[in-house]
Every structure is written in C-alpha cells, then in structure tokens.
Copies of this chain bind each other. A is one copy, B any other.
Amino acid sequence: MNIKPLNDRVAVKYLEEEEKTRSGIVLPDTAKEEKPQQGEIVAVGKGCTPEDGDPEVKVGDLVVFDKYSGTKVTIDGEDYIILNLEDVLAVIEK
C-alpha cells in the first residue's frame, strides 16, 4: 500500500526515538511532551517539483517542521504526517 500526497504536499514518517538520538536533534524543553517535529520524507506530491530547477526536498530527506502544521494519519499501523511543502522548515544533512 502506497500513500500519494496531492499537489505540493509531502508525507513524513516520524523518526523512532533511537534514530532521533542518533541524529542528534533534540526538541526544546517546552515541546517535551509534544509529538516530535521531525521525520523522514517518504513521499512527495507532484507539485513539489518546480518545472525548472531542482526540488527542495526529496524522498529520504530528514526534515524539521512546525509541530502545529500538517494532518496526522496512520496507515498500516505506521504514523505519518501529511504537510504542505511550505510548512517544511529545513532539511538536516548528516
């Protein structure tokens, strides 16, 4: 089963705790009990690729996003967040 975000949306899979520690990204104190605001892009909509030039994000990118953006869905027992590309704040490169 596959998730195909429409338009300029991306689907992001939450990082597991171990991975998060390994990646070294820590959330500020006030967000301790909140859902993590980072994850890995697993699918991008067609509107995420500009006609000329490179896309800003691609499948596999580790991204940071605002904890109030996007809509959470669970497919086959896996948590995803679907959010607009404009709500992806930054890519973290290892």
Contact = CB atoms under 8 A, between A and B. Distances in A.
Interface of A: 1-7, 9, 11, 23-28, 37, 43, 45-46, 56-57, 64, 66, 71-77, 79, 82, 85-86, 88-94
Nearest to A29: B74
Copies in the complex: 7
Tell me the dominant secondary structure on chain A's binding face. Answer: strand
B6 A89 contact: yes
A94 B26 contact: no
B89 A71 contact: yes
Interface centre among A23, A28, A43, A88 (most CB of B within 10 A): A28
A47 to B, nearest CB: 9
